[in-house]
Amino acid sequence: MSRFFRRPDPNTEMSFLDHLEALRWHLVRSAVVIFSLAVFAFIRKDILFDGIIFALMRADFPTYKALCWLSEKYSLDICIKDFSFDLISINLSGQFTTHMFVAFIAGLVIGMPYLLWEIWRFVKPALTTNEKKYSRGIVFFTTMLFLTGVLFGYYIISPMSINFLGTYQVSPLVTNQINLDSYISTITILTLASGIIFELPMVVYFLSKLGVITPSFMRSYRKHSMVVILIIAALITPSPDVTSQMLVAVPLFLLYEISIFISAAVTRKELKS
């Protein structure tokens, strides 16, 4: 049990099996933390579902209130008040398995900072002094980017996508009754995918360090990235209104531009050294 807390001596040369053993304990500790957080989330299902998951179906959700305020102030047609769909569960164990799945996702999101820290503890001894210097603050910035992406996915992308997809009808004769599993999966995928996408600056940083990506390469594909971002924004916004599309597209544009700036800074530093 002492191995659970023991940190390998960085001055001792380790074999391949020793590295695997060290990695195993880093992952075990991370799993224990994530599982503990998931259990807590499972117990507090009132907050998890009524306060977070199903809040996207209420008109008082902050995003909907902000859109209605913008709509009234600037005479726009982006106010969302119609939630004409019902959630159903068609499997006997559907609600219980969904409860466990959502609790695990919540534990993973909340425990992500600790997971990243454990991964960093495993990788750090193998880095040179220079590499450690360049990697300073990596856990903090990676965590902040991931959490920012999750919040963006939850407050911007998910409510617009849920509203558009949940209320879309090919005919008034067809009533929307959305399966609980489909609703949860959509929110989960959009939120986690957004968290991963927001790691782009960190990915660009390390790829630039390795010489795989250059700022000139990213600038040359800027127009292509803009087209892709606009297509994504057009697909997930609830109306063809340009303003609502820009609410989604602008942060992604900024993310790409920040990544170009990071790549340029890394390239200049590499040339000087």
3-state secondary structure of 229: helix
Return d(Cα 6, Cα 156) in angstroms, integer: 42
Return d(Cα 126, Cα 236) in angstroms, integer: 43
The residue that leads in pLDDT, 122 or 1, is 122
Average pLDDT for the chain: 85
Return d(Cα 263, Cα 14) in angstroms, integer: 34
Listed by start position, the domains of the chain span: 2-198, 199-273
Residues in the chain: 273
pLDDT over 80 (residue 235): no
Angstrom CA distances, 88 to 13, 118, 155, 169, 206, stand at 57, 40, 23, 18, 45
Return d(Cα 190, Cα 162) in angstroms, integer: 10
The predicted-structure confidence for 154-212, as pLDDT tens digits, reads as follows 998 888 888 877 877 888 888 888 899 989 988 998 899 889 889 989 989 888 888 88
pLDDT over 70 (residue 72): yes
